[in-house]
Chain A
Amino acid sequence: DQQVKQNSPSLSVQEGRISILNCDYTNSMFDYFLWYKKYPAEGPTFLISISSIKDKNEDGRFTVFLNKSAKHLSLHIVPSQPGDSAVYFCAASETGNTPLVFGKGTRLSVIA
């Protein structure tokens, strides 16, 4: 059973607009959440993270929001750029001391 769920396999957004990628989780023991970005023929690379004690973390164009009561997090990219086109994986960890559990990924296409 998937503990981390990304229910949208793909998303298309126009350049300059906001991209919103969603992620839900079922394990209430998760307390670190991360987003990874993956280009074709490359491994996933770390993008941004958030601890469960926060509800928002921002890094440039990327912001992650966490709603613990809903067991939901989202990644906002503003403004979206063609170079953001990639597969985005949501990941979570318990206590920061266990391996990452990943979702299935969402393929983002930013159209110029």
Chain B
Amino acid sequence: DAGVIQSPRHEVTEMGQEVTLRCKPISGHNSLFWYRQTMMRGLELLIYFNNNVPIDDSGMPEDRFSAKMPNASFSTLKIQPSEPRDSAVYFCASSPDRGWYGYTFGSGTRLTVV
């Protein structure tokens, strides 16, 4: 298995632009998680899906952030409009079930908003 695949690896965009981050989970994994890593807050959970359904989006910082999982093999995290404070590394992870067992992370997308 290729693991969790995220794209792009790096994204530089101007403030106000729309940014879309993509994630392909491991085949057969039922849960997908989006995390954001910053120096100030470490790894914080933004949203997670179970069987393609959003379960908890309380970590999404603002309405500018949205996430979708149209099918079991694809998820997107969209920021519109982007702001410099959104600059961070965004990780996607998947697991066979809701819990911690088998959590596998992608390599992340480093987002820079200038």
For the complex, count residues of A whose C-beta is within 8 A of B: 25
* Least CB distance, A81 to chain B, in whole angstroms: 23
Specify which of B44, B98, B108 is in contact with A98 (CB 8 Å cutoff).
B98
Chain A neighbourhood of B105, CB < 8 A: 43-45
Q: Known contacts being A105-B42, A105-B43, is A42 close to B99, with CB within 8 Å? A: no
The contact of B107 among A2, A32, A42, by CB within 8 Å, is A42
Give the residues from 93 to 113 in chain B that come closer than 8 angstroms, CB to CB, to chain A. 93, 97-101, 103-108
Residue tally, chain B, CB below 8 Å to A: 24
Q: How many A-B residue pairs have CB under 8 A?
A: 61
Give B1-45 interface residues, CB cut-off 8 Å to A. Answer: 4, 33, 35, 39, 41-45
Question: Do residues A99 and B42 form an inter-chain contact, with CB atoms below 8 A?
Answer: no
Task: Report B21 CB to chain A, min CB distance, Å.
Answer: 14
Q: Chain A: residues with CB nearer than 8 A to chain B?
A: 2, 6, 32, 34, 41-46, 49, 89, 91, 93, 95-105
